[in-house]
């Protein structure tokens, strides 16, 4: 069993011998992933489907299928995982374009 103890506290009397284990601090943050998230200003309310977004990213954004990850539809917006390498050129291509007749805004989620 493990007991978590704060620095300035004492152990309960029923714990006689306790072996101390220190968790080492992380040296550096983990490296960034290969994917980033795009915000698209159209969602289920606009009768948009995941297939519409995938087609939008593929035809207008010229992204290969491997460069598109999970697509999450919400009521008024959509979030899509795309390749980090192509995100800025993709935003320039997609921003202001139409999905199912509705002009959309596209931005990288920070």
- Spans of all domains in the chain: 36-108
Q: Class of 36-108 per CATH?
A: alpha beta
- Which pLDDT score is estimated for 85? 92
State how far the Cα of 81 lies from the Cα of 70, in Å rounded to an integer.
5
- Which pLDDT score is estimated for 98? 96
Cβ-in-10-Å burial (0-12, 13-18, 19+) of 3 comes to: exposed
The model's pTM:
0.73
- Which pLDDT score is estimated for 23? 78
- Which pLDDT score is estimated for 27? 84
- Which pLDDT score is estimated for 11? 80
pLDDT string in tens for the chain (110-residue length): 677 778 788 888 888 777 878 778 888 888 889 999 999 999 999 999 999 999 999 999 999 999 999 999 999 999 999 999 999 999 999 999 999 999 999 999 98
């Amino acid at each position: 069993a493990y007991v978590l103890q704060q620095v300035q506290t004492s152990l309960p009397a029923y714990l006689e011998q306790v072996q101390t284990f220190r968790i080492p601090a992380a040296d550096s943050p983990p490296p960034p992933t290969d994917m980033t998230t795009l915000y698209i200003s159209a969602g289920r309310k606009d009768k948009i489907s995941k297939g519409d977004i995938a087609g939008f990213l593929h035809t207008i954004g010229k992204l290969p299928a491997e460069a598109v990850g999970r697509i999450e539809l919400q009521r008024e917006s959509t979030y899509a995982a795309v390749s980090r390498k192509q995100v800025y050129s993709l935003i320039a291509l997609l921003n202001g374009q139409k999905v199912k007749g509705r002009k959309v805004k596209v931005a990288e989620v920070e």
